[in-house]
Every structure is written in C-alpha cells, then in structure tokens.
Amino acid sequence: MSQQRIEVTLAGQKITLATSTEHEPLLRAACTLVDEQIQLAINGGNRSIERASMMAALKIAGDLIKLQTASQLASAQSISSNSNSEEITRLQNEIYALEDQVDALMQTLSLPGSPRPIVP
C-alpha cells in the first residue's frame, strides 16, 4: 500500500494530504462533504473558518450518530437476510472510515486558543 500526496480544497484553502491509492476516492469524497458543510456554515453566518469547521464537524458527527443508531437498531432486530447484514457491515465500515477522516481533518484546523494555521 504505497502512499501518495493529493491536493484538496477545504474552506477555500488548498491543502495536501497523504493517502493510499485505494483510499484516495473515499478521502476526496470526505473532503468534498466536509467542504460543503463548512461552506453551508459560512453561508449561514459563521464568519470564522474555525467556527464554521466546528459546526461542520458537529453536523457530520450528528449524521454519523444517526447512521450508527439506525445500524444498531437494524442489528437489534436481527435482520436475517445475508445481503442486508453485508450492507450493514459495509455501512458501519464506511462510518468508521469517515470518523477517522473527520478526526484527521479536524487536527489540521486551527482552533481558538491554540492558533495553528491550516497546513497548505
């Protein structure tokens, strides 16, 4: 699994991220989602990138929690169909991957009280 560097844009700033070839499409999709949520927060009145980023992270985290809850509910109802179980497993893995990406992206952002520039 070789690493490569890709350039993405978040909150109007270009940043370079390292990823494997197999994870690049998911990382790019995650960056697009995060950037869309940041832009929605900015358009909603959040003037600072840090605050808009935190609001975007909270929105995405809320969406993930809803998916986890739905997944847990489906598991609790003991879905017997093998294809449904495979889909739930796939969605859970996707949730975990998105959580990891959100965590990694949030580490690149500057937060109030500990200013760090977004790494270009």
Cβ atoms < 10 Å from Cβ of 3: 9
CB 91 within 8 A of CB 98: no
In this prediction, residue 56 carries a pLDDT of 93
Predicted TM-score of the model (pTM): 0.61
Residue 120 belongs to some domain of the structure: no
| Total tally of structural domains belonging to the chain | 1
Residue 116 belongs to some domain of the structure: no
What average pLDDT values come out for the chain (120 residues) when binned by 10 residues? Answer: 89 92 93 94 89 93 91 70 73 87 70 50
For residues 29 and 57, give the distance between their C-alpha atoms in angstroms, rounded to a whole number: 15
In this prediction, residue 1 carries a pLDDT of 66
Residue 14 belongs to some domain of the structure: yes
Residue 60 belongs to some domain of the structure: yes
In this prediction, residue 54 carries a pLDDT of 93
For residues 33 and 26, give the distance between their C-alpha atoms in angstroms, rounded to a whole number: 10
Residue 12 belongs to some domain of the structure: yes
CA Rg value for the chain? 16
In this prediction, residue 75 carries a pLDDT of 73
Give all strands (DSSP E) within the chain, no chain letters. 3-10, 13-20
Residue 16 belongs to some domain of the structure: yes
| Residue range(s) defining the domain that contains residue 31 | 3-107
DSSP string, 55-66: HHHHHHHHHHHH
CB 8 within 8 A of CB 28: yes
Residue 69 belongs to some domain of the structure: yes
Residue 17 belongs to some domain of the structure: yes
In this prediction, residue 16 carries a pLDDT of 93
